[in-house]
Structure 1
Amino acid sequence: MLLIKGRVSIHPFFWMMAAASFITGQFHSFFILFMLVLAHEAAHGIAAVFFRWQVKSLTLLPFGGHLEVKGILNKPVTEEAVVALSGPFFHLLVHIFLLYSHLPFAYTEELIHLNLQLLFFNLLPVWPLDGGRILSCLIHLFFPFKKSLDLLIAFSTVTLLTLIAASVWQLQLQWLLLLIYAGFSTWHLYRTRHFLFKQFLLEKWKAQHTESKIVYVPASYSLHSLINSMVKGKKQQFLITENGKVIGTLSDDMIIKRYFSAHD
């Protein structure tokens, strides 16, 4: 994995599924799954390197993986969406190739089945799956960072509870285990949301943005309201208005600096 400058590791949950495949005699299925997951993450890695992201580490999971990227919280939404879509796009290309290539491979049908499972599971609008990350990008197009984070957690939670209930009803143990893992990830996102917001502000403060956004705000706006108006991936210039006239300007750097000074 030359795309990764840091470490590559395998999550314990992945080893649990490997052990289960040995016990049940499904090792060949697990091997196919493992190769698909590697290629899936390679697609994400290639997209990340294309945008010159600094990838610090990669953790492999049964349904994909987790790329740890420097400054990920303040990346442009379009870049983040492309990186998130690259994994499902890889599975789509594999599916088209397998349908029309007619390879004389004994496990072609199983490869098609597992590839489609990974594709559809990763597209679920649940954090931290690719579908959840794509949903996050869509929300960030319309809302500030803090509001977007709250909406993502709420939507993921409702979707997860619905899917878990359906998995229990249909006795789909494999899906249930994967959804429970996603549930713990969403819970962790909820517990660390305040820390993530402060980390986002620091990343935004240090970033060199290529896009800018002008925001008109009334003079009555508090520091708290201004800080909650911060969006990801863009430089913001706040024009302070009173009685329909602009009476001053504030950059996002100034607001963030004042926010951290007030919280020292």
Structure 2
Amino acid sequence: MIELIKKVRVHPLFWLVIAAGIITGHFKEVLMVFVIVFVHEMGHSVAAYMLKWDIKKIELLPFGGAAQVEENGTKPIKEEMAIVLAGPLQHLWLWALSFALVGQPFWSESDHELFVAHNAAIVLFNLLPIYPLDGGRMVQLACLAVWPYKRAMAASLGISVGFLAVALSIMLFLPFHLNLFVILSFLALTNGLEFKQRNYRFMRFLMAKQTDRATKSIHARVSGQLPIRDALALLRRGQVQLFVIEDGGNRYTVAEKELLQAYFAEAKLHAPVRTLVPPAV
């Protein structure tokens, strides 16, 4: 646990919110938010630690946090979903603890109501389907469970941007709220960066696929004329893709690692997949 705490970092955006709270005389509220966010993120981090994920950094944000892990899209989807859910689940015992402390000299009924309000606001906000919020990550994992990696990432990002656009539109009709404006602006920048890095992330996924230890296999029928680059777009997370090539009335099976070898080692980006069929066949 001490190892995890040493990796905690407070994002500059959170320091801005803390400073604003102190200046405006809302230090107790800011302290409550800090505790809630810290516990929320430690829920993610402890789950990742127990599943033996390599945690690089734990960053606290006003609406939650982000645990940076060494992960290239080849870890089991179930494990990542467990890590994502571990954060929101912490809010349940936080609510129960606040309720149990009511009546103590240091915890009044008004403190409890304020704490519960912040606790509910943070968890509900985090469950919005906007990346990198927990809700956005859940949508991303759901897409990865049913679609190839490249399509799933594009679809989940599209959903994220759509809901973010709705949130920004609603904000135009509400009284100006600095914290909300800063948070939504941060989410917009994050989604923009995610869009710019989509090809880089896909390339990292393909590189990690070369040493992927997944055992579950799935077949995909493709034309022999399909370029290798397009065939790789059909690869899925947590599954080994076997390509059934239909060419001239014949069928051949080629494993995904053969395509990856041709793509990275032989630079056959545009070559048709039928070129990978052994001549003897």
TM-score, scaled relative to structure 1: 0.91
Name 1:170's counterpart in structure 2. 174
Alpha-carbon distance in 2 for matches of 1:72, 1:26: 41
Name 2:63's counterpart in structure 1. 63
Structure 2 gap ranges (5+): 270-281
Alpha-carbon distance in 1 for matches of 2:101, 2:30: 22
Aligned length: 262
Name 2:102's counterpart in structure 1. 103
- Offset, 1:204: 1.8
SS in 1 for 2:118: helix
Query: Within 5 Å, which residues of 2 pair with 1:132-171?
Result: 132-171=136-175
- Offset, 1:29: 0.7
Letter of the 1:246 partner, please give it.
R
C-alpha change, 1:258 and 1:150, in structure 2 (3 Å) is same
Structure number with greater Rg is: 2
Letter of the 1:153 partner, please give it.
L
Name 2:276's counterpart in structure 1. none
Counterpart among 193, 199, 204 of residue 199 in structure 1 = 204
Does residue 240 of structure 2 align to residue 241 of structure 1?
no
C-alpha change, 1:24 and 1:237, in structure 2 (3 Å) is same
8 Å Cα contact 1:3/1:46 also seen in 2: no
Name 2:50's counterpart in structure 1. 50
8 Å Cα contact 1:44/1:87 also seen in 2: yes
8 Å Cα contact 1:71/1:203 also seen in 2: no
- Offset, 1:240: 2.2
Counterpart among 170, 190, 194 of residue 189 in structure 1 = 194
Task: Give aligned-pair identity as a percent.
Answer: 27
Letter of the 1:41 partner, please give it.
E
8 Å Cα contact 1:11/1:60 also seen in 2: yes
Alpha-carbon distance in 1 for matches of 2:44, 2:26: 27
8 Å Cα contact 2:4/2:45 also seen in 1: yes
- Offset, 1:183: 0.8
Post-superposition Cα deviations, 1:78-112, rounded to whole Å, max 9, x if no partner, equal 2211111111121134335545x363222111110
70-79 vs 151-160, which moves further: 70-79
SS in 1 for 2:146: coil
- Offset, 1:218: 3.1
TM-score, scaled relative to structure 2: 0.86
C-alpha change, 1:138 and 1:36, in structure 2 (3 Å) is same
Post-superposition Cα deviations, 1:30-58, rounded to whole Å, max 9, x if no partner, equal 11111111111111012112322111111
172-181 vs 80-89, which moves further: 172-181
Alpha-carbon distance in 1 for matches of 2:4, 2:249: 52
Q: CA RMSD in A?
A: 2.2
SS in 1 for 2:210: helix
SS in 2 for 1:214: strand
- Offset, 1:217: 2.6
C-alpha change, 1:26 and 1:254, in structure 2 (3 Å) is same
Structure 1 gap ranges (5+): none
